[in-house]
Structure formats: C-alpha cells, structure tokens
Chain A
C-alpha cells in the first residue's frame, strides 16, 4: 500500500539517483516505482542505462524487477541491452537448475536480433540439460527465438525433435506447444512419440493437456480411418431411417467391417478421464476430440461434462454454448435429455440467452415441441426486447422444421401481432411473412388480418414485409390490396426507404394484375418516386416504369413484366446460424467467430486408407534400474491407482537428476507392443488396465495382538516401494491401533535382536488416542535372508517383543529388462545357480494372465515382455545385495508348468520355488 500515488511525484531524475545509490533498499524502491510506471503504460525507457547496471544484483526481488524492465525495453535499447547478456550467459552455467532456467527465460525474452546465435546455443544446451525444468524452459525459448528469427526454423526443428522424445511430463506440454508454433505440419515427428504422449497425458499439467489434445486430434485425422460408418451421414435422423430397412443394414455390415486402430482407441481411452478436470479448457478439448474422432455412439460421453461447464462463469458458458449449438444441429439426441439445462433465466446476459434459444430450437422435435413452445411463450414476454424478437425468430424456425406445429405457431404469431411492443409485432410480421411464403394458399385470412393491422404498425421492416406480402399475393386479396395502395399513396413521402421500395413493388404488381383500379394510383406513386431524395428509389421507379408501362421505347422486356415480377419465389429457408459451423474444429477461436482466424490449422479429412501403422512402433531398451519398480503389474494397487505418477519414484529421479521420467505402467505397455504386432500390443495394455483393480489388497500380517499388547495392536505389510531411508532396506508399513480405553504415549521401537540388525525406526508417536490408529513406515535390512527381525515395540509403560518374518518374495525388487537381456543374464546363471521344478497348476491359474498375477503376488518382481505366449519371464534383484533373480514359468500341456529360477542365491531360490509352487497349485 505504500507505493501508490507516489509514482507521479517522483521524476526520472530522482529515480536515476536512487538506482545509482549504494543502498539496496533505495534501488528496490526505485525499481518498484518504475514497474508501476510500466504497468500504467508510461514510458520509462530513458532509465535503461541506470536500470541495466543492476542486472547482477544479489537481491532477488531487485533482480526480478530488473528482468521485467529489461524484457520490456530491450527491443528499443538494443545496444545497451547487450551489456546484460554476459550475466545471463554466466547464470546458464549455474549449478542450480532454477537459476539456469530463469537465465534462459530472460535471455530468450530479450528481442535483440544480434544475440540470435547466443540464444540458439543456449537453447540447444538447455535441451539436453539434466533438469526437466530447464528443458521445459528451453521448449518455451524455441518459440521466442522462432518469432525473433524465422530463419532458424530448421535448427529449431532439430531441437523440437529431440525434446519430443523427452519422457518428462514437465516438458511434454511445452514442447508440443513449440511444435504447433514452429512446424505443425511435421507430423512425422509425432509418430514415434504418439503412444508416449497418450500415456503421459493424465500427468501433464492442465495447460499442456489442452495443447497436446488439440495436436493429437489433428494427428489422428491424418493417420486413422474414419470410425463413422460408410454411407451414414452425420445426421442421426437419417441414420434412423437408414436402420429401418433391415436389408440395407445387413449389406452395410457385410460390406465393410471396420476395425479401429489400437492407437486410435488408446487416444480415446486416455483422454476420457480428463473430462473430470476442473479446467474448463481441458474438458472442452476432450469434448472436441471425441466429436472429431470417436465413433458416433461414443460421442455422447462428453455431454454431461459439457453441461456441467454451464455452471461456470459467463464467458465459459458463452463458448461452451456456441459449441453445443453446433453439435446439437447434427446430434439432437446428445443434448435432448438435458434440454432443461438450456432454459433461459431472466438474469442471463443477452448473448447467453440467444445461444440457449438457438440450442432449444435445434433440440425441438415432435415429442418435445409443446414443452418448448410453452417455454418460448414466457420468453416472448421478456423485458429484454432483443431477446423477445430472437424468440419469435426461433418460433418461426420451429414452425418450418416441424410441420405438425406450423399452424399452431402461425396462430400464436398472429396473436402477437396485437402485442403492445413494436419490436415484437415487427418481428412477428417478418416471421409470418416467411412462413406464409411457404404455404400461401391457406392463409388469406392472415394476410387480411395483417392488412388491417397495417395502420397501427410503425416499424418500417414490418410495414415493408406486409406490403410485400400483399403485393405478392394480391390476387388472393383482390379487394384489400388496392385499398392499401391508396393509403400508401397518401403517406408515401413520409415513409422510410424500405417501405417506399415495397410500395413501388406493390404498385407495379397491382398494375399488372388489376390495372383498371390501380392505374392512376400507380402513376401517382411512380411520379413521387421519380423525384425522391434517395437514388435507389429513383432508380427503382425508373426501372419499374419502363418495365410495366408500355411505350414505344420500351423494348422486349415489358412483355415479360408479369413473369419477372410475379414469378413464384422460393421460400426462404429458416436455418440455424450454427449450421456448417463444424467446418471449423470445435473449441477453436475460428469456430467461435465463424471466420478463419490467423494461424488456424485445418482438420484434414479421414484418409481413405490408413497410412502405415508401424511408424508408431518404438524400440525401447530400458536400462536396468535397481530401485525402479518399473513394471506396473508388480506394483501394489495403491500406487498404480494414482492420477499422477508415483511420487516416490520421481523424487528419486530428482535426486539423481537423471534424464527423463521413468517408465510408468502405461508406458511399458506401449514399449511391449513394439515386439509384437501393434494390435497384440494393445490387447496387452488393455489387460494391464483391467488387471490393476483385480490385484486385490496387499496381504497384511499381525505384529502384535491387542490382548498381548494391553490394548495396543499392530499389523504390518510390505508396500513394495523402494525404501526411502536406505536402498538396501525393505520398506515395511506398520499400522498401530489403540484398542484400549486410555491413550497410549511414546510408542517407539526399543531393543532389537540380533543387535546388529539394521533397522530404520519410525519416529516416536507421542500420543495415540483410544480407537485411533496410525500408519508408520520403517525400513529393515534383512540381508537377503528370511530370518525374522526381532525388536521391541515400546510404549511409555510397557515393552512387547515382536518380530517381522518376511516372505522370500518380499526381499526382492523388480528389475526391468528386455527379453534379450534376460536370456543373456540367464545364460550366466546356469548349473548350480538354476533351480527348477514341474508343477501342476490349479485350474484357475492356467490362463497366462492369472499365472502372472499369482507370481507377482508371491514375489516382488517385474514382468519381462515375452515374445512367446507360453513362456512368462520375471526379473528381480535382491534388495540387500542386488543379486539378480530370474523367474521363468513355461506353461505346458494338461495344466502343468515348468518353473525355473536362476540366481546365485540358491537358498532363496529354493524358498521362492516352494512359495511359487504353493501359490500356483492352490486356487
């Protein structure tokens, strides 16, 4: 609150002085004021030399404000700006990733062409930085450099190509943004990254999601064949008609069986959960993706979410309603159940009201029209007259589209002609005119009624419409028409231009049909028109006169006067303003404005034949990592259920500063598909998805019964996470529950045996209330043996001896490797390092899925993708010593299987074999 209003008082000279002082606080104060000036749009460029000196300040806020200034004025003061460059170049080498990132951010924002080579170098270097955050910044810098110097395109595309391969969710959104800006047509760069992008999508930040989804929509339209049935048009009404004839349907099915590309399915499946995003832009982008890519019957999954967005801010409603308006023209059924969500409230803004009206009109059909018309009756009475007029237009549209209600609507509109409000009457006349034009024969009465009202109507558009109607159908109202013309002759000079034009028209038509009565009147009107101030009217009059009044000069045309003026005219089509809007991709600016915006990228038509599918296959050679539970199946369900990646995993990654995020379950599925054909790959990844929830809860074991523990009970389980405390420890989670009637204090771990047992205790629990329970985690180094870890669980008053006995399978960590690596390692562990047995499988375990499931439930190992159907391979390492443990299960005939374990820990091998045998043999 201190720095308001003072800006104007201090002049530039004072600010300069402050900046040059030795006191940090004065400099900072000066910079704050300068930022205030910039914010107001005042010019502060002459302070540049004084400001730029502070670019290397130690004070972070001062430095940041100098950056703000620099980015704002560097373009105008290029030479001086160069003085700051070396500071950023130095910072680009800083050991701290955030400082490197911020230096690149500012350096790339300085729009000085001389430093293009420096920027290029910095971007290239940052693109290979170990920190994903710096790589993200480099993706942003690509666009900045491109807009500064488009000549750099080729080199920048190379960087984009490199960054597209990045596996970090931080980078994905930013690099796709750069791709869209620099080289949106290079879809060949996407092929190899397509599956990865699909799989990373849920974990990418929300803004990145929008950009990626929009890019993938375009990509999919070039790579996959149409999921929309051949011959069936977009219009579902047509579709219904189409199904009525059974034979045709059969023909269709037989003619072309459509099989969706698994990658196409992958995209649809992985975007669907994002409909639940809180970010309205994300929801809209998924909706448009489904609209443009999903089979017709699947599109309706987006309806509910779109309707939900209508609860959001007015501006959001506006955009969403526009898109629904376009959708509802082609797919009434999608939104019909939600019709009431589009009812207008008196508090809505006018453009919201109009859009809702548009949608209601689109949704109208024989079944709901009476409800809609009842609702419209309320709107017609609205105090917002522009909206009332729009409602009348809407009624007109309903009347033309649904023939059952044409008469009802027409009668309703006629009643509105006696409305007190002029705009309502005028709009009704215009709409009635259009309706009558479609079926004039039955409606002489209405024309007569309108002629009667004519004297009281003052809105020129309405007067003109009535005149046109009477003129057009003058033969049906032979008595009234000349009388109206008489009145018009009287008031001609006082009328608006459009009314005068229609009067001339009426006169001409009457002259042709009823010249006896109207000859003189027509002459009179034509004379008035001849001297009118408006040249349009003078022109028209001259033309009409030549056309209808025969004289020697008039040529052949006058013979055809009747045919020209009284030709049957096609009825106007009342249609939605949103018809054909979907030539633009939904959700885009172009769609919203209904004009092609700068930089709009066309959505291509589906290819008739799908391009090569194998371009998306990826060869993945995963480095073997000891700590990474790299295969999704091996993880307990709790971790896998996460909406975002496993935090434990990624924390670790940061410490190591390793490149790229580690494989998550879904990623593995895509890599596995590289070995087999892509359709198999998909079914494989489907089974992972399905598998996770059926995996069931982790087995928990009793540590201390509440009877022996004087009320304190404890259970433990192995969460199968890498242990945070030491890599050679097994993580154990202990849940302590207080079953007594008093609170327990100071729960901690006491003596342990053997005394050398390496144990990471949980922190002392100060107090555990009755009935309360708490889960703590600890780490135990079992030294690769199943010997129990004994220790004392103590409270303030008591000590209880407890022991944790690990199953051998819990002493392992999954290890990821390729099939080749597996076989290579197995080759090294033959002879006495190999243990095997043939076992009989329980009937339930004979399928390959359940077999893997059983193995994974026994031992914490990872699945190695296998090219043979009957052989399952699993790899792990012992937690403590890191020795490899390779498990092979080969299923044979008559539900037997050969189990082989290769490891140099022979005792562990035999124990593991026993456990596996037991698990696989029992149901």
Chain B
C-alpha cells in the first residue's frame, strides 16, 4: 500500500526517506514541491496529489510534511491515519517530533518504520508492542549504549504481538501502582458580533496514564453517562459492555493512552465561560483605527479562568498597533499581522482589557471585515458538561492501586466574530 515515505521540512528539503518496496526516486517529490509553492499557507497544500505514476498523500505536523508515495488505489484515510500514528509514535519516543529529533535518532526512526510497515501494510502500530521491540532512547541509555555498545533493540521477543490483548505488553511491574485519568473537555464555539452563540459544542476526551502491575482489568463508570452522545474508544474497551451497561470495562495498555473521546449531546445547552466586549473600528479616510477589547468570566461555576490567550489576524491594511494591556503582554507581528495577547488569569474584580489604536496604511481603503478573535483558556477542576466519574474498580490483580481523576475544561476552536 504505502510504497515510500519522504520527510520534508518547511524549506522544502527532504531530510529522510524510507522505502518498503522498490526504491522510488525522490524526484517524485517535485510534484509535491510544486503544490507547496502554489499554496499560500503551509496548511493549504492539498493532502492528496496525483502525479503521472504515483499518488502523494501527506500530512503536516510540527512543520514537517510526511509524504507517503502510493502506487495504486487505497483509502486515503488509511494512509493519513497511519502517518499520524507515525508522528504520534515519534512524539512518544523522542518527546518532540522535530527535524532535529528525527535526525538525532535516525537509527531508532528507521527501526520503528521497519516494524510499523511490512511491504507497505501496517504491522505493529501499538505503542506498547513497539516499545517491547525497540526501547525508547533516554539520555542514560544513550550514554550506556555508547560506552558498552549495547542496543536499543529489545532482547526478548515481542510476545504482545501474538496475544489477544495486543495493546498491552506482558510482564509489566511497578512498585507504585497508579492509574490516573484526565477528563478534558473542549468547547468549540462561534460567537457572533452581538455576543450571541452561533454554534457551540463540547468535545471531550479521557486520557489515561496507567502504571499497573500484571494484567489489571478495570471498570470505570459515570454518574451521568447519558451526557455522552457519540463516543469512540481505544480498542481495549469492551464495546458490548458499554452498549448494555454504559460502563467502560477494559484491560488498559501500559502507560499513556487515550481511553475515550466523546461528544456531548447537542440538546444540552453549552455554558460559555467567557465573554468578550469589543469595539474595533476603522474609519474611512483616516489612518487610525480604534481597538478596544475587554474579557470577562461568565458561567464558570466559581472556578477561575486561567491561561487565557487571545489572538487575532488583523487586516492587511494595519501597519502597526499601539495598545495598552491592563494585564499580561501583547505582541503584534507587522509582517504576518498577527496580534497575540497573553492575558493569564481573569480576575472577575478587575477585568482584563486591551485598548489603543492601530495605524493604517495611508490612502488605503478601510478593510471590509473586522478581525476574528480566537480565544484560548483553561478552567481547572471542572468538566463543563458536568460529566462525573462515579467509580473506578480493578479486578484480576491483588494489589490496591492509587487512583486519581482530574477534570479540566479548555477552549477548543473558540472564535468571536467582531
């Protein structure tokens, strides 16, 4: 299916190539570079590009294009999903997935890619199996390896690949047995000029970090499972149990994994935790524009709104800004016209504001559109949908694990049109 993979950086250099079948010349990427040149933004390169003899399917992450070369019909999502899995694996192994990290670990990268695909068909993509096969590099291990000449490749053979619980490695041992679950909800919203909500929805995930000895069998139940409208599971979750009892029952992978992602049913009204008062005006014939923005909390159930970050793409005609933040710092990049304001925490007694003027290109006509404002924020210890975990139980092992559940609400794609 997947013939070859090329890794291309932002400046258009191929810095890694891997072939699973006969070698495909790297000149095939010329078609990709053409598309890259045509695109105004890096994100605008089309994910699927036909060439006379091949098809190029690419994903862009961490400013690296992962370009897969395909020779015949294959579901494009199959390739895209796989490429994202590759990126996730690299991130998991090296902490970051940058060009430098990949170049530094080129041997591990190659060993991983070799295990992940056989003849272009995915073979081992589970992080637990891969880690049995190839140990992730750590500073200590790299040093030891250099001195003693020992290897990253696991000495024992990967039994996980053969088991019916392929996502969990065998023989896991911990002195402290812990299971942590993070319920993270994101609010996607579009707020219109007048402050009314055009669309708002809540998407949530439960990310787990499970470090338990042996083969634990966990069940997790919710106080209000009805809130979950649409869910997708890690393969470890027993689907029928969920269907029948609304209980998550699973043998967890070892380490970090995403147990569940869900969508909160759209019938429930979504609480919008922040409001924005704005007054952004450009006047015809004037070289000055006014910018006035105030943020305030709303429907937060008494919790603080933190890590607030406001960003906005100002119209091309804006040359510079002269703004005054009541708190935090703001920057304006005159080249990209991107305004960012790192607000920090919202104090309900003293609302943060950003006020001042914008200087416009002399003689240019006033911009048609007022900029859209993107807001990021975090609210700790609260899931905005009201979802609550009822209990977490463990079977199959005798020890008593330490269990922890954390809630958080974040802004997803939260936009205010002005």
| Residues of A that sit less than 8 Å from B by CB | 1-4, 23-25, 28-29, 32, 35-36, 38-41, 59-62, 64-65, 67-68, 72, 75, 96-99, 105, 108-109, 111, 131-133, 137, 140-141, 143-144, 147, 169-170, 174, 177, 202-203, 205-207, 210, 214, 273, 276-281, 283-285, 304-305, 307-308, 311, 313-316, 318-320, 340-341, 343, 345-347, 349-351, 375, 378, 381-383, 419-421, 587-590, 592-593, 595, 597-601, 640-647, 650-651, 654, 692-693, 762-763, 765, 767-769, 772, 774-776
Contacts and interface: CB of A to CB of B under 8 A. Distances in A.
A651 B163 contact: yes
Contact of B121 (A99, A177, A277, A278): A177
A588 B72 CA distance: 11
- 7 nearest CB pairs, A to B: A25-B149, A599-B72, A61-B151, A61-B153, A340-B199, A381-B369, A349-B43
B46 interface: yes
A654 B162 CA distance: 8
A346 B372 contact: yes
B395 A775 contact: yes
B77 A280 contact: yes
Contacts of B15: 40
17 contacts: A28-B151, A140-B121, A141-B119, A205-B166, A207-B78, A279-B81, A280-B80, A281-B77, A281-B81, A311-B263, A345-B415, A349-B41, A375-B198, A640-B240, A643-B241, A644-B164, A651-B164
Contacts of A98: 157-158, 161-162
A60 B43 contact: no
Contact of A350 (B44, B48, B114, B199): B44
Interface of B: 1, 14-19, 21-23, 26, 40-41, 43-44, 46-48, 50, 55, 58-61, 70-78, 80-84, 103-107, 109-111, 114, 118-119, 121-123, 125, 137, 142, 146, 148-149, 151-155, 157-158, 161-166, 190, 198-199, 201, 203, 229-241, 243-244, 249, 251, 258, 261, 263, 313, 315-316, 365, 367-369, 372, 374, 395-396, 398, 400, 413, 415, 417
B369 A382 contact: yes
B244 A308 contact: no
Contacts of B61: 313
B415 A347 contact: yes
Contact of B157 (A96, A108, A202): A96
B230 A308 contact: yes
A643 B400 contact: no
Given A343-B190, A597-B73, A775-B395, A643 B80 contact: no
B235 A643 contact: yes
Given A132-B162, A381-B369, A598-B72, 15 more contacts: A1-B104, A3-B104, A25-B149, A72-B19, A72-B23, A98-B157, A143-B121, A202-B239, A205-B166, A207-B82, A343-B198, A346-B313, A597-B50, A597-B72, A642-B241
B60 A314 contact: yes
B25 to A, nearest CB: 9
Contacts of B21: 147
Contacts of A641: 238, 240-241, 244, 249
Contacts of B146: 2
A206 B128 CA distance: 16
A65 B107 contact: yes
B62 to A, nearest CB: 12
B417 A214 contact: no
A847 to B, nearest CB: 22
A318 B47 contact: yes
B106 A35 contact: yes
Given A284-B77, A641-B244, A68 B110 contact: yes
Contacts of B125: 207
A758 B42 CA distance: 70
A382 B367 CA distance: 10
Contacts of B165: 644, 647
From A111, A319, A598, A693, residue with most partner B Cβ within 10 Å = A319
Given A177-B121, A383-B315, A587 B75 contact: yes
B398 A774 contact: yes
B17 A207 contact: no
B43 A4 contact: no
Most buried by B among A24, A147, A305, A316: A316
Contacts of B43: 314, 349
**Among the interface residues A105, A598, A762, which one has the most CB atoms of the partner chain B within 10 A?**
A598
Contacts of A768: 400
Nearest to A31: B107
Given A305-B230, A642-B238, A64 B119 contact: no
B55 to A, nearest CB: 6
A9 B159 CA distance: 40
Contacts of B60: 314-315
A596 to B, nearest CB: 9
Nearest to B122: A207
A597 B55 contact: yes
A206 B22 CA distance: 26
A98 B55 CA distance: 34
Given A4-B103, A280-B81, A39 B110 contact: yes
A284 B73 contact: no
A38 B114 CA distance: 13
Contacts of B110: 35, 38-39, 65, 68
A340 B200 CA distance: 9
Contacts of B72: 597-600
A647 B372 CA distance: 53
A276 B396 CA distance: 26
A35 B107 contact: yes
Contacts of A99: 157
B417 A378 contact: yes
A343 B235 CA distance: 31
A278 B258 contact: yes
Q: Which of A24, A68, A767 has the most CB of B within 10 A?
A: A68
Contacts of B59: 313, 315
A308 B263 contact: yes
A278 B234 contact: yes
Chain B CB count within 10 A is highest, among A3, A174, A210, A643, for: A643
A99 B50 CA distance: 39
Given A140-B118, A647-B165, A32 B73 contact: no
Given A41-B14, A278-B235, A343-B190, A600 B73 contact: yes
Contact of B76 (A65, A67, A340, A592): A592
A316 B396 CA distance: 38
A283 B276 CA distance: 38
A589 B158 contact: no
A308 B18 CA distance: 33
Given A96-B157, A420-B365, A421-B368, A39 B16 contact: yes
B75 to A, nearest CB: 5
B2 to A, nearest CB: 11
Given A174-B121, A346-B313, A776 B44 contact: no
A315 B369 contact: no
Nearest to A173: B121
B306 to A, nearest CB: 22
Contacts of A276: 231-233, 239
Nearest to A24: B149
Nearest to A202: B239
B27 to A, nearest CB: 11
A25 B243 CA distance: 54
A763 B398 contact: yes
Nearest to A586: B75
Nearest to A285: B75
Given A278-B261, A311-B203, A206 B50 contact: no
Nearest to B145: A2
Contacts of A643: 233, 235-241
A210 B190 contact: no
A207 B199 CA distance: 35
A35 B111 CA distance: 10
Given A281-B81, A308-B232, A347-B374, A420 B199 contact: no
Contact of A347 (B164, B315, B413): B413
